[in-house]
Amino acid sequence: MNEVLIPIDKKSNMPLYEQVYNGIREEILNGSLKANQKLPSVRYMSSLLSVSRNTIEAAYERLDSEGYISSKKRSGYYIQQLHTDLFEGQLVNLEETEVSKEVEPFCEIEFDFSGNRVDTNHFPLSVWKRITNQCLKEQHEEVFFFGHPQGEVGLRREIASYIRQSRGVQCTEEQIVIGSHTQYLLNLLCQMIGIDGQTVAFENPGYYAARQVFELLGYNVQLIPVGVKGIDLKALEDSEAKLVYVTPSHQIPMGYVMPVKQRLELINWAMNGNRYIIEDDLNSEFRYYGQPIPALQHLDQHGKVIYMGTFFKSLLPSIRLNYMVLPPTLVKIYQEQFIIYQQTTSRILQKTVEIFMKEGYWSQHIKRMRKLYKKRCEWTVSCLHKYMSNKVDILGDQAGHHVVIQLKEREVSRNLQDIALHNGIRIDSVNIFLADKQMNSLYNQIFMLSFSALSEEEIHAGIRKLSKVWFSN
């Protein structure tokens, strides 16, 4: 029997028994402790390492339960025969790998213009808490168990009523499927439509989180250019796609709004070739100028548009609640083959949102936030005109949570995003939405400035500083 010397750090947050377990396990896997070799007794090891017998016993019992050692009655613990040759070199310490290291910013972030952030100060938290507590108190027998796979009927009814009034979407609650994220719903939808050999047309630049779903499912993704009127319909006609993903009401990321003429042509494309259109209506609640354009689905009389919506930009990012509206033909396929998929959104959350909508708090909140975001959008544009009017063009300022700026003169020699970050300003480049990296040179001078989570004072100071670090000689 050889001594087993294991370093013990009594100041570490890791329990002592776990340190002993890890030390012996590593000695076994790297071959230092051989098969059939006897381990020191519990008493001897506790004395050797200056720890309690309970600590050694806990470590030995775990090693025994996992098959690294075996206990022989009245004899002790022995190393099991393992294929340790599988563990060549040193064992991987996850704490030391590059994967586990967080990327540190260049400096402390003073102004964060990055996306996926919303104003949380104006969220009606007290109302939300009251409704959640109401659900737990009055409906606890119901919300603690599995609900309908398609989502709570009451919530689907409220959503159907809301999108009919606000977006002109024609549907019943039977056509709505609720899920925790757009990616989950897209995955489900792709299985309904069929995956083998399918080609999907996709905006470029476009919403990368959605594009990756198609890529991971093995779709042939054909990239279609985007212009001020939305997706290039001529390029779409020339493609082999039977499915297209679009964001017509506020194109992600450029912010373009597809006119009605192009919408009708897109629906005609779907009708003529037995095709489907996926309409992601992200940010549709926040249009600031002119009359709202009805959803693409509103114009569809032939069941060719699958409408998708979300609550995370309107409420909070942590409220993972999305939905899709299926045409009747796909509803039939879903109910026959895919109803077995369990619902991914908590029933408590669903019931809370249902009551929030039914009692009028949702419409009040949207009106309040639309007014607030419009004011911040106008202020952002005003500050850009004040500090960068001769340097940038402003795009996509009609709706949504961000404006897009494009430099008038190309800055080939400088990485403006890194310069901003080095000076405490975080912004997003449109390049992250590109699938074809050969197009980077066309978009590397275009940036997104999200204003939704910043005060007017922060917007002003941030744009002033950004202009200084970018353009001051």
Domain for residue 102, yes or no?
A: no
pLDDT digits (tens, 9 = 90+) for 372-396: 999 999 999 999 999 998 899 998 7
Assess whether 76 and 160 both reside in one domain: no
**Do residues 174 and 315 both lie within one domain?**
yes
Rounded to whole angstroms, how far apart are CA atoms 30 and 39?
16
Among 335, 359, 383, identify where a domain stops: 359
| Domain membership flag for residue 103 | no
pLDDT score for 1: 52
Q: pTM of this prediction?
A: 0.77
Has residue 306 been placed in a domain?
Answer: yes
The whole-angstrom separation of Cα 154 and Cα 350 is 9
> Domain check: are 209 and 354 in the same one?
yes
DSSP collapsed to 3 states, the chain? CCCCCCCCCCCCCCCHHHHHHHHHHHHHHCCCCCCCCECCCHHHHHHHHCCCHHHHHHHHHHHHHCCCEEEECCCEEEECCCCHHHCCCCCCCHHHCCCCCCCCCCCCCCEECCCCCCCCCCCCHHHHHHHHHHHHHHCHHHHCCCCCCCCCHHHHHHHHHHHHHHHCCCCCHHHEEEECCHHHHHHHHHHHHCCCCCEEEEEECCCHHHHHHHHHCCCEEEEEEEECCEECHHHHHHCCCCEEEECCCCCCCCCCCCCHHHHHHHHHHHHHCCCEEEEECCCCCCECCCCCCCCHHHHCCCCCEEEEEECCCCCCCCCCCEEEECCHHHHHHHHHHHCCCCCCCCHHHHHHHHHHHHCCHHHHHHHHHHHHHHHHHHHHHHHHHHHHCCCEEEECCCECCEEEEEECCCCCCCCHHHHHHHCCEECEEHHHHCCCHHHHHHHCCEEEEECCCCCHHHHHHHHHHHHHHHHCC
The answer to whether residue 331 is domain-embedded is yes
pLDDT of residue 81: 86
Same domain, 288 and 394: no
Which pLDDT score, from 0 to 100, does residue 100 have?
Answer: 47
- CA–CA separation, 235 vs 223, rounded Å? 9
Crossing angle of helices 361-388/347-358, nearest 10°? 90
| pLDDT at position 293 | 76
Do 92 and 130 lie in a common domain?
no
pLDDT of amino acid 265: 95
Same domain, 60 and 193: no
Q: Are residues 85 and 233 in the same domain?
A: no
* Phi then psi dihedrals of residue 168, to 5 deg: 75, 15
pLDDT per residue, tens digit, the chain (473 aa), is 567 778 888 888 889 889 999 999 888 888 888 888 999 998 988 888 888 999 989 999 898 888 889 988 888 899 888 876 655 555 555 555 555 444 455 468 899 998 878 899 999 999 999 999 998 888 767 888 888 999 999 999 999 999 999 899 999 999 999 999 999 999 999 999 988 778 999 999 999 999 999 999 999 999 999 999 999 999 999 998 999 999 998 889 988 889 889 999 999 999 988 899 999 998 777 887 776 678 999 999 999 999 999 988 888 888 889 999 999 999 999 999 999 999 999 999 999 999 999 999 999 999 999 999 999 999 999 999 999 988 999 987 777 889 999 998 876 667 888 999 999 999 998 888 888 766 666 677 899 999 999 999 999 999 999 999 998 86
What is the span of the domain harbouring residue 209? 125-359
Q: What is the pLDDT of residue 2?
A: 61
Residue 410 and residue 261 in one domain: no
| Predicted pLDDT at 323 | 96
Measure CA 129 to chain center.
25
For the chain, the distance separating the N- and C-terminal CA atoms, rounded to the nearest angstrom, is: 74
**pLDDT at position 111:** 94
How many domains does one find in the chain? 3
Residue 330 and residue 371 in one domain: no
Looking at the fold, whether 132 and 90 belong to one and the same domain comes out as no
Whether 309 and 212 map to the same domain: the answer is yes
Residue 389 backbone dihedrals phi, psi, to 5 degrees: -60, -35
24 within a domain of the structure (yes/no): yes
Identify the CATH number of the domain in which residue 289 sits.
Answer: 3.40.640.10
Domain-terminating residue out of 359, 382, 408: 359
- 141 and 278 co-located in one domain: yes
Residue 39 structure tokens? 């381990």
**Beta strands 425-426 and 402-407, pairing class:** unpaired
CATH number at residue 53: 1.10.10.10
Which of 330, 359, 388 terminates a domain? The answer is: 359
Does 353 fall in a domain? yes
Here the CATH number for the domain that contains residue 460 is 3.90.1150.10
pLDDT value at residue 95:
54
Considering the domain boundaries, does residue 452 fall inside one?
Answer: yes
452 close to 118: Cβ distance less than 8 angstroms: yes
Cβ–Cβ < 8 Å for 333, 192: yes
In-domain check, residue 386: yes
